[in-house]
A and B are shown apart, each in its own frame.
Chain A
Amino acid sequence: MAEHYLFAMANFLLCLVVAFIGVCRLNAMQGGVLLRVQSEYAAYVTSGLISAFQPWWGEWPRWGSIAIAAALLIGLLSSGHAWKRDTPPENATGHAPLGDAHD
């Protein structure tokens, strides 16, 4: 049983960090961020929370869950440079209205 708890705790911590990064990126979004980018981070946050607490409905995480959570975390950390100073990257936002080009 101790092994179960160790896997659960490692998965819990990884997933909470994934969800936390997702919340931080959603917080950094201002008007104009594409819906698909918002959906992507909403999915990170929700799936992170669901996976973190999966023992509560009888599903104990093993190597597979840990691997996916670690991969998500590495992906989010790797894209950190694009979100420097909590600003969404250009390719996450829609085109500015043409009128703004003259300002």
Chain B
Amino acid sequence: MEMSLLFLYNELGGMNKGFDVIDHTADVGIIAYGADIKEIFSNAALALFSLITEPESIENKFHLDLELSSEDIESLLIEWLNELIYLFDVKHVLFNHFDIGSLTDNDLKATCYGEHFDTEKHTMKVEVKAATYHMLKLDKSDDGFKAQVILDI
């Protein structure tokens, strides 16, 4: 599938586009869309795992509860993605479904669903080092919210 033309089924809005992957010379960017900020967090996480492997190949075999806090909502988004990158690197877990329980400008509670990375089953795409603050944007647009994050790969 063409990276920049990835579409994902969006549970709330039917076939709305959940995210786009954008080019950045040394790295790669993601744009997450959502009717609210919770959806932005969920779609940004889906975009991240779509870079690591094919998200359709991930099954919901277990869940993990996460609680995070940060200074502001943009930093919290970076914190969230970096937490998922950390979990993949250390625990080799892949997620493709996220319930964002509660979200304020500073705190996030979420449940992530997925399974362990399996070389037989999951293709390896890229190694994501970190989510960066570079060109970080989280804005309200005409039809909801939009966030842009550049990942270092």
Whether A and B are associated in the same complex: the answer reads no
- Residue positions of B touching A, CB distance < 8 A: none
